[in-house]
């Protein structure tokens, strides 16, 4: 199965971001991708942290969700919709950072609310997601059936989750075949740790990792690391976008390679704790 990680340079304008995402999904589908994954905050990189509150949607309703559902249906792909702000009943000051997965028929196949919320302060840059977000609490995986009829178990995570291996261990009961990590890594943290952590999660869980990303200098002054990437179960980087800006990274999801790694070194069976 061919899979695609989308890299974007999202703006403070939702309509522009949706149009760009739709075009990139179409590009990936035209190249044969059956699963297309968008990055974190694909729909908005606001000028203020609170901007996400203004565009937050109710579950099942809103222009962002309609675009994702319609585009998945139009191209007949599984579409992992990066993240969008989702309203919380009874709260106007906080939202969930939510990843929705749409099946090829346009229906929602899975929802995951980001569990680990990012805080960073190096003296020059400061970022605190707890100011506008409420953390999720439940790990989520779903079954994807490809066009050949093969089933795959896909685990969901978002950006800062990548630093917490216990989340991915929770997703390995039973083991996942693929982990999705849509992200908007800051430039300094991404330069130091992005590839390192993605490869570690692939190795220790003996699965593929697909990591769509934000990449470049945004209008709000933030710079994200990019390097949208696909990593194989031996920790090998299969494909990566080296340039900043929008683009698509394609990779083959190989069941035989997955089986070979797990047979040669059955580490998942050797777990004690």
Q: What is the pLDDT of residues 6-59, one digit of tens each?
A: 999 999 999 999 999 999 999 999 999 999 999 999 999 999 989 999 999 999
Beta-bridge mates of residue 156: 180
Is the pLDDT assigned to residue 262 strictly greater than 90?
yes
Q: What is the pLDDT of residues 97-148, one digit of tens each?
A: 999 999 999 999 999 999 999 987 776 767 789 999 999 999 999 999 999 9
Fold of 2-270: Nitrilase/N-carbamoyl-D-aminoacid amidohydrolase (3.60.110)
Q: Look up 114 and say whether it is catalytic.
A: yes
Q: What is the pLDDT of residues 48-104, one digit of tens each?
A: 989 999 999 999 999 999 999 999 999 999 999 999 999 999 999 999 999 999 999
Write down the domain spans for the chain.
2-270
Q: What are the structure tokens assigned to 41, written together?
A: 């905050």
Is the pLDDT assigned to residue 176 strictly greater than 80?
yes
**Separation of CA 36 from chain center:** 10
The enclosing H or E element of 2 equals strand 2-8
Tokens 């309703």 belong to residue: 61
Going by pLDDT thresholds of 50, 70 and 90, the confidence category of residue 208 is very high
Tokens 């130091």 belong to residue: 192
Query: Of 34, 40, 57, 244, which residue is the catalytic one?
Result: 40
Query: Of 34, 52, 129, 159, which residue is the catalytic one?
Result: 159
**Pick from 268, 259, 193: nearest CA to 232:** 259
Q: What is the pTM of this model?
A: 0.96
Going by pLDDT thresholds of 50, 70 and 90, the confidence category of residue 273 is confident
Contacts of 32 (CB under 8 A, 6+ apart): 2, 250
Q: What are the structure tokens assigned to 252, written together?
A: 């083959």
- Whether residue 248 contacts residue 226, with contact meaning beta carbons closer than 8 Å, is answered with no
Q: What is the pLDDT of residues 147-169, one digit of tens each?
A: 999 999 999 999 999 999 999 99
**Separation of CA 250 from chain center:** 15
Q: What are the structure tokens assigned to 247, written together?
A: 């683009």
Q: Look up 52 and say whether it is catalytic.
A: no
Q: What is the predicted pLDDT for the residue at 127?
A: 75
Instruction: Give the count of beta carbons closer than 10 Å to the beta carbon of residue 25.
Output: 26
Q: What are the structure tokens assigned to 174, written together?
A: 């039973």
Going by pLDDT thresholds of 50, 70 and 90, the confidence category of residue 228 is very high
Q: Look up 176 and say whether it is catalytic.
A: no
**Separation of CA 6 from chain center:** 9
Query: Of 34, 57, 114, 244, which residue is the catalytic one?
Result: 114
- Whether residue 178 contacts residue 211, with contact meaning beta carbons closer than 8 Å, is answered with no
- Could you give the CA distance from residue 221 to residue 219 in angstroms, rounded to a whole number? 5
């Amino acid at each position: 199965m061919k899979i695609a990680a989308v890299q974007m340079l999202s703006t403070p304008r939702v309509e522009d971001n949706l149009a760009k995402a739709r075009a990139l999904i179409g590009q990936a589908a035209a190249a044969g991708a059956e699963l297309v994954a968008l990055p974190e905050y694909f729909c908005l990189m606001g000028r203020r942290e609170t901007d996400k509150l203004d565009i937050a949607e109710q579950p099942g309703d809103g222009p962002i969700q309609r675009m994702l559902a319609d585009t998945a249906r139009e191209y007949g792909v599984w579409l992992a919709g990066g993240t969008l702000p989702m309203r919380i009943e009874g709260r106007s000051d906080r939202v969930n950072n939510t990843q929705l997965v749409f099946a090829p028929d346009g229906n929602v196949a899975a929802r995951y609310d980001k569990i680990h919320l990012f805080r960073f302060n190096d003296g020059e840059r400061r970022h605190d997601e707890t100011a506008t977000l409420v953390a999720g609490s439940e790990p989520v995986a779903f079954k994807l059936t490809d066009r050949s009829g093969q089933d795959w178990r896909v685990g969901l995570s978002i950006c800062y989750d990548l630093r917490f291996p216990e989340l991915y261990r929770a997703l390995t009961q039973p083991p996942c075949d693929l982990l999705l990590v849509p992200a908007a890594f800051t430039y300094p943290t991404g330069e130091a740790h992005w590839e390192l952590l993605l490869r570690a999660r692939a190795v220790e869980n003996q699965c593929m990792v697909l990591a769509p990303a934000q990449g470049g200098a945004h209008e709000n002054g933030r710079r994200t690391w990019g390097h949208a990437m696909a990593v194989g179960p031996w920790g090998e980087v299969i494909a990566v976008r080296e340039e900043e800006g929008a683009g698509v990274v394609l990779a083959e999801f190989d069941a035989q390679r997955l089986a070979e790694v797990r047979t040669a070194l059955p580490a998942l069976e050797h777990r004690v704790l």
